[in-house]
Amino acid sequence: MSESPLVPPSSVVLVSGGSRGLGLAIVSDLVGNGVKVAAFARTVTPELTALAEKYPDQVHIGSVDVNDAKATQAFVKEVEEKLGPIDGLVNNAAIGQDSLHVHTSADQLAHIIQTNLTSPLVLTRFVLRRLLAKSLKGRIVNITSICAQRGFPGLVAYSATKGGMDSATRSLARELGGRVLANSVAPGFFASDMSAVLGQTQLDQIVRRTPTGHLTEPDEVVPVVRMLLLDNTNINGQVLVLDGAASI
């Protein structure tokens, strides 16, 4: 019998930056939908610890810096021993920026690019190599940003990393030949620690420019990530923009 061309729903999903903000919302939602989830961040929060304590057989967490390749790889192996092979990856961990390009040092630029672009690609490579070696299929969701589509002052390097991830998503989808569905989800601005640097004037301006009249809510992003990981779709290599048409 020939192999089904469909990519099954992910059963073990690794979420980077799953300790707070959107990442934590994604983790909670997946756990509630019966998916085994591993999450890491540099600091494990009480909320994430509570989930791991409530669902010890379904959730595995760790304190890991995405920029420490050895530590992320050790965590991946630990997750696979505990939960089984990872067949879903959400690259969510990222740092923001709040500095004009002319005031951003070369070291700061390198750190943003390392955290938001290079390290997620290194992690993706590691997860993919293990998945493909086991002849598994899988799904990748890269959390990018509206900043990859529209310009915002103070976010030059950040925007470059998000645009880079969107481009990588398209080429991954081509390269993986349908074994792995790779997509980006690009939210508009939503309230979180990262966006706390935006002033009320900037937030009001974004809302005024948004036909739906409100900032994106993490609750509006979570179901789209879930769909890309769990539903039977042929969506591949796409950037799904979730910004209430602010950028249109």
Ligand X SMILES: NC(=O)c1ccc[n+]([C@@H]2O[C@H](COP(=O)([O-])OP(=O)(O)OC[C@H]3O[C@@H](n4cnc5c(N)ncnc54)[C@H](OP(=O)(O)O)[C@@H]3O)[C@@H](O)[C@H]2O)c1
Active site residues: 158
Rounded to whole angstroms, how far apart are CA atoms 186 and 144?
Answer: 5
- Segment holding 79, helix H or strand E: helix 69-83
Question: With binding defined as CB under 6 A, does residue 150 bind ligand X?
Answer: no
Q: How far is the CB of 93 from ligand X (least distance, A)?
A: 4
Among 51, 86, 93, 173, which residue interacts with ligand X (rule: CB under 6 A)? 93
Question: With binding defined as CB under 6 A, does residue 75 bind ligand X?
Answer: no
Question: With binding defined as CB under 6 A, does residue 143 bind ligand X?
Answer: yes
Position of minimal CB gap to ligand X: 21
Rounded to whole angstroms, how far apart are CA atoms 180 and 139?
Answer: 5
Question: With binding defined as CB under 6 A, does residue 214 bind ligand X?
Answer: no
With CB under 6 A as the contact rule, which of the stretches 5-13, 41-49, 105-113, 126-134 interacts with ligand X?
41-49
Q: How far is the CB of 201 from ligand X (least distance, A)?
A: 16
Structure tokens at 214: 């409100």
- Segment holding 239, helix H or strand E: strand 239-242
* Contact partners, residue 206, CB within 8 Å, separation at least 6: 188, 189, 215, 246
Question: With binding defined as CB under 6 A, does residue 138 bind ligand X?
Answer: no
Structure tokens at 157: 């390097």
For residue 196, report the phi and psi dihedrals to the nearest 5 degrees.
-60, -20
With CB under 6 A as the contact rule, which of the stretches 40-48, 171-179, 206-214, 223-231 interacts with ligand X?
40-48
Question: With binding defined as CB under 6 A, does residue 42 bind ligand X?
Answer: yes
